[in-house]
Chain A
Amino acid sequence: MSYQLPPVWTKLQQHAVFPEFNHDERARYNFLANLNRFVSTVIAPGNKLAYDRRVEPNFKKEHGRGFADRFEVGEAMKQDPVYQMWAALRRSTMEMRQQNGRAVVLRQAKQLASKVAEELKGSDSLQLNDDFRVPPYLTHVDNHLMPGSYHTEYFPGDVSNAANYDSGLFVTSGGMLGSLTDGGGRAIAAWVKETYPDFHPTRILDIGCGLGHNTLPIAQAFPEAEVIGIDAGAPMLRYGAARAHALGIQNVKFIQADAANMNEFTDESFDWVQTTMFLHETGGKSIHTIFGEIKRVLKNGGLNLHIEQPQYTPQMSMYEQFMRDWDAYYNAEPYWGHMHDLEPADLMVEAGVPKDKFMQVGVKAINDLDKKKQDGKVTEDYGRSPIWNVFGGWKSAGK
């Protein structure tokens, strides 16, 4: 069979605080992973065919010119039945994924909260802030169509939304991120070690760490370092700290903090500041404040890296920009589009990295699952493929 099957959901590594799944709940996720795979590899390519063969030619015929921007592409594509059906299906799969995951964790919400509390007994790896104010860019939207987003607790000590996120990312990504959904973190840790063998950070900050999927591989790759993950969502931090503890990873702390106001940390106190798929979930003003804070807490000569989707550049076709923009509007990540219009080198200047020290590379997820499941051609699934853009640089050594 030449059709590439996604790994079964049970390949996702379970840990002590993982929600319990019954037979049918597991089957439901297997169905969704396969549905996603079919939609992305068989139906989604129809969008490009429709665009090339009728949407763009018809627009040119009607207007005597090509598309001016991705928004015009969007208006034209919206009229095409292939796109309509693909988009309706993709939205439907995202909503199903949320409902299915929530049904699992909410029925055992109390037990999950107890398991997490038990796991964290005697541990100092979690620091929550009772007076914490969740940044407005997070309360304004339910990212990825997750009702309640990262920060909502349905009762004190709740971890439901985090457990849902942990169990379902494997489904959305078709298992392409590995058995701990940590392919991004593994990739960046491996790249840093290989590219800078003499870099021995002692203190690493991961901003917007969520439940630590991509923080833990960095902690594992640099066992001598103290790794601190910050996030706004208490359920994510609680669950993340318990998950790290359950997986036996000791050199990581989860702290509730606002990336735009990290007054918990002193100036120049980190050797490496990392963000992974975080910037597009911030806001148009906050992102600049965040880069200012990165500059402040990063040591002179320190490393600052960001894993993101590719920026929209004039070299990127308008069709691709439109397809990549889909998630911004229809998967509730509304800052995605604006963020990818920014010039990353300018952002890095705000973080204290001069333009001539700016760097940008592509990385692919490191996936520990069955080789057969990840080798070979990856069908482009704009915004979902396990391939990212890394940008960043070294902060100037002097002041």
Chain B
Amino acid sequence: MSVLVYIQTLEGKATKAGLEVASFANKMNAGDVTALVAGSLSGDGELGSVGVSKVLHFSESATDNSQLSKLTHAAANSVNASTILFSGNIEGSSVAPRVAIAMNSGYVAGVTCLPEGKGFTRNVYSGKATALVNVNSEVCVISITPNSFGIKLDECESAVESFSAEIGSQRVVINGFTPTSTDGSVPLPEAERVVSAGRGLKGPENWGIVEDLASALGATTACSRPVGDMGWRPHHEHVGQTGVTIRPDLYIACGISGAIQHLAGVNQSKVIVVINTDPEAPFFKAADYGIVGDVFDVLPKITEAIKEL
């Protein structure tokens, strides 16, 4: 029995999402953990720090999810893996289901905690319920919700081996990539802290106080749907149903009333802070901390207090 984890790297090191998935694999106690890396790798990519004993490195180019699926399938066979883990980010959830079909194995998406016996727990109904899912096949394919498990250090020696497999041709040609942020902030689905604002900000020219608070906290900025639709902020910042679903440790909502569609995208946040002039705003019912007040008055005070920490 062994566990295979598919790891994305950036400049040779495992990404935060990658280290989280490897930590999950290690803590499952389901056998040796092998990491599969396609792309840049320097040393062990820091994977030894989270209990990965072997790293398989595929150094040729593989970009299509069909190619990455074939590669993962081959690696899983070579280490006789009984569990194959992915991050539940966009790349993970485009490759993992393909692997499950190719290996005729059960797939559980968006797992949030370690399994109980054969059952994996995942969020369903946009965070309004959880499901315990049993897998009926010998091999199971799992994706982990980003920022749900965290990175758990467990130093070990990690052996790096080069790995090769027949992965077919590239059929989706990448012509270019445009990053959403140039300031180096963490993408929303993986962010640990998010500061979000809505129509209460009255206009795009007022976003400075939101950005100041986000920068003091090391947080990523987000917005409500009306704000994205009116073009005050880019679409990719829209959190909520039909936008991005997030799961940060801290979510601060400024001037957002908390419509049910918005809550569906943010209700898995660990701590929710709501700042709104309307004491009847429905968002207060879903919040851990609330301030009834004017964001133009309250936000600079909070930013100041954070800078003094």
Real binding pair: no
A residues lining the B interface (CB < 8 Å): none
User: Which residues on B are within 8 Å of A, measured CB to CB?
Assistant: none
